[in-house]
């Protein structure tokens, strides 16, 4: 009985996108590990943007630092 947890930042992910994540994770476990879909659980956890960090800084700062300048 596999359980997959997907954590994403809370930025307006649609129910359709979440359904695609659930299907994709389930299909992956079926294809790679031969797990039955009816016994595969997928949990999506949405994390507030200010509670997420990467590269030692809050994600908003990381995005600011790594943003590609617009041409012009």
Of residues 2, 15, 58, 71, which has the active-site annotation?
Answer: 2
Asked if 18 and 44 touch (Cβ cutoff 8 Å), the reply is yes
Tell me if residue 2 is catalytic: yes
Q: Which of 56, 38, 33, 58 is nearest to 47 (CA)?
A: 58
Q: For residue 6, what are the β-bridge partners?
A: 44
The catalytic site residues sit at 2
């Amino acid at each position: 009985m596999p359980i997959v947890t997907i954590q994403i930042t809370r930025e307006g992910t649609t129910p359709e996108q979440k359904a695609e994540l659930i299907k994709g994770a389930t299909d992956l476990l079926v294809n790679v590990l031969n797990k039955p879909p009816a016994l595969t659980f997928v949990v999506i956890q949405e994390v507030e943007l200010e509670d997420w960090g990467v590269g030692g800084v809050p994600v908003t700062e990381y995005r600011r630092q790594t943003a590609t300048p617009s041409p012009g």
